A and B are shown apart, each in its own frame.
Chain A
Amino acid sequence: MSDHPYAFLALFLGVAIAFPLIMLGVAQLWVHFFQAAKPGALKNSTYECGLAATGDSWIQFKAHYYLYAILFLVFDVEILFLLPFAVAFTSLPAGALFAMLAFIFLLAEGLVWAWARGHLAWK
């Protein structure tokens, strides 16, 4: 009964790392002993639909993804503040509810602002 609750998290973390490593190791051993790898220029080339791939894909890309990430960060932090509110709901006075509603409306207002500015329209 007195197990430390996070002992299991540590155990599963260990299993989650060990399991793929062991299986990949078995696959490597199999390749090594029974089935030599046969690399080739075509086999090692980047996947493309019939043509040779041009250039890297480590390039600059659409900045719109970044906007969503920023918006996510703002909302996620605000939601993190809402969780303790939900837990402490047991003993809060009525005033806390109004404070929380004001906080939620600020959250909603941020969404309305981003929406009105057109940041949520996928271009």
Chain B
Amino acid sequence: MDFSLYFDLPLWFRLVLQGTIVILVLFPLAAACSMAERKISAWIQGRPGPNRTIPPFLAWIPGINIIRNLGLFQLAADGGKFTFKEDPVPGNVNKFYFILAPILSMIPALSTISFVPFGAYFTTLADGTKHLVPIMLARTDLGLLAVFAVSSLGVYSLILAGWASNSKYPFLGGVRASAQLISYELSMTLSILPVFLWVNAPGGEGTLSLFDVVQTQSQPGFLGGMWYIFLMPVSAFVFLVALFAETNRQPFDMPESESDLVGGFHTEYGAFKWSLFFVAEYAHMIVGSGIFCLLFLGGWNPLPWVSLGSFINLAAGVLPCVASPLFMGVIGITFFLLKVGFFIFFFMWVRWTLPRFRYDQVMNLGWKKLLPISIANLIFYAVAIAVKDLCFPNL
């Protein structure tokens, strides 16, 4: 199968098509997350969760009770409610920033997805060699730096929402959110530096691209096929904790902490403006879990030491059609989404297991524990990688 026909199409057409596909995957995924959140929280607490809603004219269909019990209709009803209920703007707010904040929250949530590779497929070049091509929207060398640069813009929407509401609870929520986000950004960036030291070690490529990170995890050999979660467990741990803080998930949901700040920065919001914050949070979660899987869990590789390429070669012995680029792309994306799905479940699992931190504990954890740990971790790996290259260049 050849994709060259596709690449002959005009640029704007491919842009719109690929962009639409990603949005059509991302939005239902975010919606499914919100449903999964309610169901998983219900199961963890030993209650059934939303299971009653059903449009009366559908009730006669046999077997529809399964969908009803899963709460799918509840999800649709919620979506309808957010769009069509009255959307009051409180009298004392700064109207412009009040409306701008939820719109701003969508920008980092949607833009970061264009830097995430989802999978890869083989193309055969003119000289007969096989060449792995990533499935991603914006192929830049910047990769991770671009993700960090865009996603850290998310703090503006939180602080704008908090400030523009002109109410005490949102204000405190907004200020806390911004202090928390900037604190954990440091540990987050420092914790992934060892990964790029390793990727760019002599013989590497000199890149920040997430695709190349996955490529270096799919080499043959013991070290080459090793996922970085085994090679750099401390980095993975610090990154994961910082990811929880950056996405405002429990136990770090200081900006919202409903027991002391009612609803935090979105107390004054309702209807569709509120649901924009909600969608943005889930989109951040999805992209964040995706980045974690790419950096530390081998991206679309099915198992440690088994790369997607060798898996496909193995499977093609049984089913030859698997080797076609289309199948390979779909299989890679499936493995990747499975890992992301597990992490989203993990986010929810932690939310209903750990109690919330107090605010001073959050700041202490960020500045006095994670930051020194990640600096020590960086020094250790910088020295270790240099020593390895000097003494064991063939390892």
Contacts and interface: CB of A to CB of B under 8 A. Distances in A.
Contacts of A108: 372, 375
Given A68-B183, A100-B382, A87 B84 contact: no
B388 interface: no
Interface stretch (B186-194, B316-324, B333-341): B186-194
Contact of A79 (B169, B179, B190, B360): B190
Given A23-B83, A46-B167, A104-B379, A3 B271 contact: no
A120 B90 contact: no
B3 to A, nearest CB: 9
Interface in B156-208: 163, 165-171, 175, 178-179, 182-183, 185-186, 189-190, 193, 196-197, 200-208
A11 B357 CA distance: 39
A53 B167 CA distance: 8
B179 A20 contact: no
B90 A97 contact: no
Interface residues of A, number: 68
A17 to B, nearest CB: 6
A37 B138 contact: no
A38 interface: yes
Interface string A13-50: 10111011101101110110001011100011111110
B367 interface: yes
Q: Identify whether the interface residues of B are mostly helix, strand, loop, or mixed.
A: helix
A8 B18 contact: yes
A69 B87 CA distance: 34
B386 A97 contact: yes
Contacts, number: 215
Contact of B87 (A4, A31, A100): A31
B106 A90 contact: no
A33 to B, nearest CB: 11
B84 A35 contact: yes
Contacts of A1: 7
B291 interface: no
A90 B205 contact: yes
30 contacts: A8-B15, A9-B138, A9-B150, A11-B19, A12-B114, A20-B276, A21-B103, A23-B83, A23-B272, A24-B87, A30-B84, A31-B87, A39-B88, A46-B92, A47-B169, A47-B170, A47-B268, A49-B262, A56-B166, A57-B166, A79-B190, A82-B190, A83-B193, A86-B196, A87-B208, A89-B201, A90-B205, A104-B379, A107-B375, A122-B363
Query: 5 closest pairs, A vs B, by CB?
Result: A44-B91, A122-B360, A86-B196, A8-B137, A16-B110
